[in-house]
Structure 1
Amino acid sequence: MNIDLIDTFLDLCETRSFNRTASRLGVTQSTVSGRVRALEAALGCTLLRRSRAGTELTTQGLRFEPHARTLRRNWTVAREAVRESGKAATTLRVGIQHDLLGDRVASWVSALQSALPEAALYVEADYSSQMCADVASGTLDLAILFTPKPGPDLHFESLGAVDYQMVSTETETLAAVSPDSYILPNYAPAFSTSHAELLPFLSVGAVSSGQNAVIRGLLVALGGSTYVLRQTALDLAAAGQARLIPDAPRIAQPVYVSIHLRNRHRAPFRRILKTLQGQMAGRP
């Protein structure tokens, strides 16, 4: 199979421009045209129609697109499976929820390296919905996230939970927290549900965010009260930038790992999951 034909077709599905696809793939426009003709000849149908208005997918092209994505994903899986039996290291592509990075990224990477020392790591931060889509498509090998988005090709396991602690620049008691200066945290649907149930009088705020780093910055700059990760709360208190509110409930946010269904019984992934669960158990 000539995977270049598939890659070129899928890029054209995004750009709808032979010129832009040629630029993105680093080839000439005539090469792009030749690849499309070769793919159409192999399939016996017309996939793309060019006009002055641009490039559009034909009905056959629309039908072929999801199959092309599956072909590319399977090609990637097959290529990496072959590499696993050779001397070259595989690359483990990992997505991690934004709040689980911060100054803790080194511990996550160390845990992954200990579980799969023969692999090179590619790590990126993202949100749960996108990471689930990327695991399903094969763009990521696994994702550590807050909110599972079930799909037929996805497998989820619990890793544990992280705690969020209320802090304030104004008070040390929950009763004295002012709703007017409260920075509303919105880290994940599960967190927001727990927050609304425990603290209904603080369920609105003039400023809101879904990232721990952003909320920390807002708290330091603007003052007020909010929830941040437990470790961030301890750091703020130690630096004299905020005070812990000990009578406010801690809110636990569950953490999950997502892998493709085909990998759930593979030994390397079982080692990864066991190691990550152990690493999570040691988090503050």
Structure 2
Amino acid sequence: MDIELARTFLAIVSAGSFVRAAERLNVSQTAVSARIRSLEEQLRRPLFVRNKAGASLTPAGESFLRHAPALVQLWERARHEVAVPPGRRAVLAIGAELSLWDPLLLRWLLWMGRAAPEVALRAQVGQSETLMHQVAEGILDLAVLYAPRYRAGITVELLAEERLVLVTSPPGAKGDAPPYVHVDWGPDFAPSKGLGRADPAIHVGFGPLGLGYILAAGGSGYFRMGAVRPHLESGRLALVPGAPEFVYPAYVVHAETTDPEVVRLALEGLRHTAAADQAEVPPDAMPGSGPALPG
């Protein structure tokens, strides 16, 4: 079976309609319909019922949904194993949300390079929904996210409970208070939750962008402690006394069908780096070796 047929089937299930699935896959609706028609002919059963609201699964579609993710994951795992570079024993692919790549993902790459030099690494950053989809399809072995959606066949583990802290640059030349820069950390973090800052000077949807702005132009805002710690130590930023702090949990997700030994080692590295970041341990003091893959 053409693996793209299973991918298209899963895209429709996720999107809820043929039209939205076509947009996500960047193909025409005609192409999506043709793929599903071909899949239904091979299975000899109708998989979807179209209606005004979109598309719903038939009983046969519900049955195929239990197997489609494993088909795609098996194909991606085969691609990974075939593509192992010379001198390496395995390939591990990881993704992280944009706000998590520095320092967590960067430190993890350094840890893995020391602990498992025989493993080739592939790392990328992206949005939560895209990363979850890639884990489900086997394109990624693991992903680190803030708000994962629980799905069948996906293991979700709490990695760290980060703190969002209010920091500020020094007052301006005239002693003016720096402008507040609001970072969109999600619906549970909003001015209406008691921050008392309903009219921010700037509103951004990406933490590193907001942090870069206040470092360059001055300002205040809520950011992850792990991201601002170096600037607090250098004196470029300071914590706002008495400001409330917020817990912002990060999770690691992985498919249950991925290589257990490789995933076990990767999870150990992620736990080490997350714990070191929360304990304010400098990167060069983190454990640099771990149990190698069994030979």
Q: 1:170-189 CA deviation, whole Å, 9 max, x = no partner?
A: 55xxxx968xx321122245
Matched residues, number: 246
Q: Which residue of 2 aligns with 1:54?
A: none
Q: Which residue of 2 aligns with 1:146?
A: 146
Q: Which residue of 2 aligns with 1:211?
A: 206
SS of residue paired to 1:101: helix
CA 1:268/1:72 → structure 2, altered by over 3 Å: closer, same or farther? closer
Q: Which residue of 2 aligns with 1:31?
A: none
Q: 1:189-214 CA deviation, whole Å, 9 max, x = no partner?
A: 55x16x754x4312552422232211
From 261, 267, 284, the counterpart of 1:267: 261
Q: Which residue of 2 aligns with 1:25?
A: none
Q: Which residue of 1 aligns with 2:185?
A: 187
Q: Which residue of 2 aligns with 1:32?
A: none
CA distance in 2, matches of 1:149, 1:161: 17
CA distance in 2, matches of 1:165, 1:200: 12
| Deviation for aligned residue 1:160 | 1.6
User: RMSD between aligned alpha carbons?
Assistant: 4.4
> Where is the helix percentage greater, Structure 1 or Structure 2?
1
| Deviation for aligned residue 1:6 | 3.5
The worse-fitting range, judged by mean Cα deviation, of 209-218 and 146-155 is 209-218
**Higher alpha-carbon Rg:** 1
Partners of 1:164 and 1:230 within 8 A in 2: yes
| Deviation for aligned residue 1:230 | 2.4
Q: Tell me the percent identity.
A: 24
Q: 1:39-80 CA deviation, whole Å, 9 max, x = no partner?
A: 9996689xxxxxxxxxxxxxxxxx7x9777753332233565
Q: Which residue of 2 aligns with 1:225?
A: 220
CA distance in 2, matches of 1:256, 1:211: 18
| Deviation for aligned residue 1:158 | 1.2
The AA in structure 2 aligned to 1:149 is: R
TM-score by length of 1: 0.65
CA distance in 1, matches of 2:246, 2:200: 18
From 276, 280, 283, the counterpart of 1:282: 276
Q: Which residue of 2 aligns with 1:128?
A: 128
In structure 1, the gaps of 5 or more residues are: 21-37, 46-62
Q: 1:224-263 CA deviation, whole Å, 9 max, x = no partner?
A: 3212232443443455543332332333321110011334
CA 1:206/1:118 → structure 2, altered by over 3 Å: closer, same or farther? same
Matches within 5 A, 1:135-174: 135-169=135-169
TM-score by length of 2: 0.63
Query: Is 2:71 the partner of 1:71?
Result: yes
The AA in structure 1 aligned to 2:223 is: V
Partners of 1:91 and 1:121 within 8 A in 2: yes
The AA in structure 2 aligned to 1:218 is: Y
Partners of 2:95 and 2:143 within 8 A in 1: yes
From 237, 241, 255, the counterpart of 1:242: 237
